[in-house]
Structure 1
């Protein structure tokens, strides 16, 4: 059993203005957070303390910034988190702190296309998103499960891979009151399919996995789900441009 819910990997210059307020917001919501300022005591081995925090945390928040990529320790922590995903699990939760896609792609291309939170969303919103992720990770019976979602993805897109990280984000952001059964997710996809097919022809590079299709389908038909994601500008435009193609009369 993990000691902490979250390990926060960050660069020291980002601590006071963003990382510490985020950690406090998460702590106020009942999340068990590993933060160096709180967990490394005087005289303790820094490397051993960090290693213990990484291995005993369910997820690792990675605050990506210019300072993060210019320092050795954060990059070592990121490498350790990547290594922990070697079994197929998704443990890294990226947050972009005053940084844009080109910088992330340059320094950490494996993170560039992962769904990330952005600092301009505001700390309360980011903290709420993280709490939803933790809640769905704990959920075993109510609502849609990860196995059901994977099976649906394989059924609908047999020639495309699934993306474990995006699956985790999708499950974290859906309303379990609205999507009580996997058939509700499939129905949302069928309603969005005409709009989705047009958009996929326009931007095929944004539809590399079956999970890409399902995530964007929910964005087309569910405004609450749409508001919880940090979509690319192209996808936000597509939601408006192709909204009239959604077939709302599909009921089964």
Structure 2
């Protein structure tokens, strides 16, 4: 949590899902949460690794967006795998899966997800309820 009692939320996504991920980032931000989104937080000339690392460092929730493109990819994989490791080590961080389409990856099969592919508003409301 940040000083205002709102959560620090990291939006993790594949590049192919950037438009849906940015819409989601705007919606979560509009609900009052501090959102880390790569398109907003990594400027020309920045170290990508350094910016992602600092974003993950203060995160309460990693929103893992997936579609038929899955969750395999060099950046998204490092983001959610390192967050899962931190969670298993007892750090106060949670992974919240969000479905834009496709099937849930096997490693997330036991986690309930917010389904934005069927009804964006209902899925968003479920996600925001999980972010406390």
TM-score (norm 1): 0.47
Greater Cα radius of gyration, structure 1 or 2: 1
Partner of 1:27: 29
Larger relative contact order (CA 8 Å, sep ≥ 6): 2
1:92 aligns with 2:95: yes
Which of 120, 124, 129 lines up with 1:123 in the alignment? Answer: 120
Considering fraction of residues, name the structure with more helix.
1
Considering fraction of residues, name the structure with more strand.
2
Inter-partner Cα distance in structure 2 for 1:86 and 1:70: 20
CA shift at 1:43, angstroms? 0.7
CA shift at 1:72, angstroms? 1.3
DSSP-derived class of the 1:120 partner: coil
Answer whether contact 2:60 2:93 (CA < 8 A) is retained: no
Q: Deviations over 1:80-139 (max 9, x none)?
A: 1111102344510011221124xx12xxx2x1111111123433223322322223xxxx
Structure 1: gaps of 5 or more residues: 136-252
DSSP-derived class of the 1:82 partner: helix
Runs (4+) off by over 3 Å: 1-4, 87-90
Report the number of matched residues.
128
